[in-house]
Structures are given as structure tokens and as C-alpha cells.
Amino acid sequence: MMKDKNNMEMDNFAWSKLAIYRSREIKDEVDCLKKNYSNLKKDMLLKILDSLRADSRKNVRNLAANFHNFIENRKSEIERIKAMYSFDKKFGNYVYTAGVDEVGRGPLAGPIAAAAVILNLNCREDGELILGIKDSKKLSPKRRCELSEAIKHKALGYNISVINNTEIDKRGIAWCNNEVLKRAVEGLKLPVDMVLSDGYPIKHLFGNNEFIIKGDAKSASIAAASIVAKVYRDSLMKEYSHIYAEYGFQHNSGYGTKEHIEAIKKYGVCKIHRMSFLKNIIM
């Protein structure tokens, strides 16, 4: 079996002599190949697929079909992500382009949060791309967390900004929505040349800003920012759920679900509720 998974060579596993291995061993090896796909060369992949397809065992040939589908899906995903990176580059040949997005505009409780992310838009190899990024709402919580870590690891820079419920009640959600985006960008350590925002421009922001309708589905930088912001805020609301257990913040993240509204009517409000959002609920 392969010892060094980051520098795989054909002689680590005798793909031309699959009969000497049990099906379970072969499946484990194929799973390992999937995890290290970016290190594999095209000619190596073809030889492996040919060996799997030539095996007399049906379950091994099924592995070949599964691995082939994985390869095709991976190719499609790489092309999708490359298109998102290219989308960001079309606004100009800037040194640093940041994507920014917010989460938490509509909840009845908790802060509004925003993230600004600077990606390396000039990746030389496919392995440098962050695969899987998209509108954060279309990802499972587990996948969002995985991608958030990958983004923070591979990004050239990122910053998260938060405005709490007290300031939301004082200033209004429209002002806070703009301000949290502005603070997220201004908190970046690198000198940003272009800021891409989702849906509308950011007022009073120094420098270039392009706003993109449904930007988290088109722009790699905005999609990355939306994921980082959502994971951060959801995690924060889970922490609040340990303090204010009655409201189910670990499930609803402060949004006005039926259970959350019933809890407000039963227990009253807590310190992180937005009073300006509750006028029609606690009349």
C-alpha cells in the first residue's frame, strides 16, 4: 500500500497486478487516490482505470466506474471554479481583489457579521484552487465548516467584522449592513485595489468597488467571503445558545422561526435580541 500519499508513484501499488489484492484493499487505495487527486498525472490515471476495468471481479469494475465518475466530476468542478476566479479577474488587473459579504441582516437576535476575503486569483496549478465554494446557503453546515477552514488557509488575507444587536437597534439595520461590510474591508492587512460586493455597492468605501447581483454564485471571492461569514456567525450563535438555551439559537441562528417566536412570547427577550425587530411580536 502507498506510504507517502503526497508523492505517489506507480510502483507504490501494483495496479497491473490487482488480482493479488483483496477488493477491500483496492477500494481503500482508490479512496486514497481521490483524496490525493491533485498529485496524480493524467497518464497514471489512465493506467489505473485500465487496470480496474480489466479486473474479473464485478465490484472492482464498479470501482472503475465510480473512479471515472469522480474524475469527470472533478474536471467539471475545476472548470466551474476557474470560471469564478476568471469572473473576479475581469474587473481589472489588480494586485489585490477582495470579495465581501454579510450574514445576519434579517434575524431577530444576534449580530450582523461580514467577511472580506482576498484570494490568489492567479493560481498556477489546479491544486491551488479552492474547490466547492458557492453560495453558503447551498452548502451543508459540515461542508461550510470544511470550506471555511480551507479558505482561511489558502487566502492571501481575510477579516471578519461584527456589529451587535445594540448598535443595530441604535443605528438601524441599513446603516449597520453597510458599515459591517465597510469595516470588514478596512480591517484587511493587505492594500486592496478592488472590492467586489454582493448585490449593492458599499457606501463611503475608499477605493474601487463593483457590486454584483447574485455575486456569491458568480464570484469566487464573494462566495468565499459568504462562507467564512456564515460559519463565524453560526458558531457565535451556538455559543449564545449555551447562555440563552430557551430560544434554540443553535438551530435557528436567531432567525424568526415559529419555535423562536413562541419562546419569545413565553420567556420574554434576552440581551441579544434586536428590540427594533420585535415590535410586532411583543406588543
- 195: how many CB neighbours lie within 10 A of its CB? 30
What is the H or E stretch that residue 116 is in?
strand 112-118
| d(C-alpha 104, C-alpha 84), whole Å | 24
Cell of 251: 438551530
Indicate the length of the chain as a whole number: 283
According to DSSP, the β-strands at 157-163 and 194-198 are unpaired
Distances from the Cα of 251 to the Cα of 103, 168, 238, 255, angstroms: 16, 22, 8, 9
101 belongs to an annotated ligand binding site: yes
Distance CA 276, CA 82 (A): 43
**Would the annotation count 198 as a binding residue?**
yes
Contact 135, 46 (CB under 8 A): no
Q: Is 102 annotated as a binding residue?
A: yes
Residue 256 CA to its chain's centroid (Å): 24
Residue closest to 190 by CA, chosen among 96, 114, 93: 96
- For the annotated binding site for a divalent metal cation, the residues are 101-102, 198
- For the annotated binding site, the residues are 101-102, 198
